[in-house]
Amino acid sequence: MKQKILVIYAGGTIGMQASAQGYVPVAGFERQVRQQLNDERAAQLPAFDMLELDQLIDSSNLQPHHWCELAGIIQQRWQQYDGFVLLHGTDTMAYTASMLSFMLQGIDKPVIVTGSQIPLAELRNDALDNLLTALIFAGQYSIPEVCICFNGRLLRGNRSRKLKSAALDAFDSPNYGHLGQAGINITLHAERLLAVGRANFNIPELNPDAVVVLPVYPGMSASVAKAILNDNAVKGCVLQTYGAGNPPDANSELMRVLEEAIKRGVSIVNVTQCLQGEVNQGAYATGATLNRLGVIAGSDLTLEAAFTKLHYLIATEPQAHIGALMVKPLCGEMA
């Protein structure tokens, strides 16, 4: 029997049109897509229904509640479809793919996120190819995880990052091999996929103020960290340090601000500002300082995976469990 896929259009460049203010999302994407597919082409694809959100967004405006809405749409229709394709803006696509991987753990069918750098409405575009490739991966392959499919690459969602703002190969997963490629032939690296699980959905309410990001930089003052961390709503912080996880520890006032936040119950997770490699908190004396303060070493988590995992754990687990769970892979997000 032919597979049936649900395509969810949430917004993003793929369905945008030019306006006096620049590109904006517009309703009616399904009509645009069906116009591009004649019967013969459609017959070669998995069958698909399309659902368009009432409030389409440029994903720069994404809020944590959008993750709950998107995961809820998928959960409600889980039994009706063999796979899901989510059309999403590229700017925050890696955040959404990461969060969906935590909310939809143990899935036994594909959830493939895609979008494009050029709208379908433009003569020359990457929209149709990304959509068709995502549909083919979702409908014809056994992929039990949340992925990003972009420019012929199939990537683990929670390992992906948007690395290029203008090129068509915008996404990559610098710390994990590609799950598949669509070149002349389509290849799936089944050995890199997660094991088939039992769907275990958990879609908690998220407090948008609960997690903050704090990048270190030369000359950073303790007052900047204080302003960000001294808010009672803040329960988690992704600290982006240099190289192997090194902070400017000579700034003892800054270190004190971090330590005080940890004592108040804020979970601080250290990730590297480098694109590739991992945090080795203690390779240098500067990094070892963070061990003494109780900062959680984030291994090779991307910023997006660390941020969404913290949000997810804060909303679902007691604070005492967060440190241990942050360093444990839940769904392939870290080594």
Token pair in block for residue 65: 């509640």
Q: Which residues pair with 162 in a beta bridge?
A: 171
Q: Where are the alpha helices (DSSP H) in the chain?
A: 29-36, 39-43, 64-76, 93-103, 127-140, 222-229, 252-263, 285-293, 303-316, 319-326
**Cβ density class 84-107: b for 16+ within 10 Å, e for less:** bbbbbbbbbbbbbbbbbbbbbbbb
Residue 202 found at the interface with ligand ASP (CB under 6 A): no
Residues taking part in catalysis: 13
From the list 285, 321, 327, 288, the residue with the least C-alpha distance to 306 is 327
Q: Is 90 in the site for ligand ASP (CB under 6 A)?
A: yes
The nearest distance, CB 271 to ligand ASP, in angstroms, is 22
Minimum distance, C-beta of residue 89 to ligand ASP, in the bound complex (Å): 2
Residue 15 touches ligand ASP, criterion: CB under 6 A: no
Q: Which stretch binds ligand ASP (CB under 6 A): 84-92, 149-157, 179-187, 199-207?
A: 84-92
Sole window of 7-15, 72-80, 150-158, 177-185 interacting with ligand ASP (rule: CB under 6 A): 7-15
Q: Residue length, the chain? A: 335
Q: Which residues pair with 268 in a beta bridge?
A: 237
Q: Which is nearer to ligand ASP, 13 or 241 (CB)?
A: 13
Near ligand ASP by CB under 6 A: residue from 89, 245, 298, 323 = 89
The residue from 52, 91, 129, 317 that contacts ligand ASP (CB under 6 A) is 91
Which position among 117, 125, 133, 246 is part of the footprint of ligand ASP (CB under 6 A)? Answer: 117
# chain residues binding ligand ASP, by CB under 6 A: 11
CA distance 171 to 162: 5
Residue nearest to ligand ASP (CB): 89
Closest CA to 96 of 162, 189, 190: 162
> Which phi-psi region, left, alpha or beta, contains residue 170 (left: φ > 0; alpha: ψ -120 to 50)?
alpha
Query: Could you tell me the smallest distance in angstroms from the CB atom of residue 258 to ligand ASP?
Result: 32
| Range 268-307, binding ligand ASP (CB under 6 A) | none
Residues 29 to 58: which contact ligand ASP by CB under 6 A? 58
For residue 76, the minimal CB distance to ligand ASP (Å) is: 24
The token pair that represents 108 in the structure block: 């036994």
Stretch binding ligand ASP (CB under 6 A), from 9-17, 104-112, 238-246, 296-304: 9-17
Asked whether 323 and 267 are in contact (CB, 8 A), the reply is yes
Residue 59 binds ligand ASP (CB under 6 A): yes
Task: State which of residues 115, 157, 180, 245 lies at the interface with ligand ASP (CB under 6 A).
Answer: 115
| 50 phi, psi to nearest 5 deg | -125, 135
Q: Give exposure, 313-324, as e/b (b: 16+ Cβ within 10 Å).
A: bbbbeeeeebbe
Q: Contact positions toward ligand ASP, by CB under 6 A?
A: 11-13, 58-60, 89-91, 115, 117
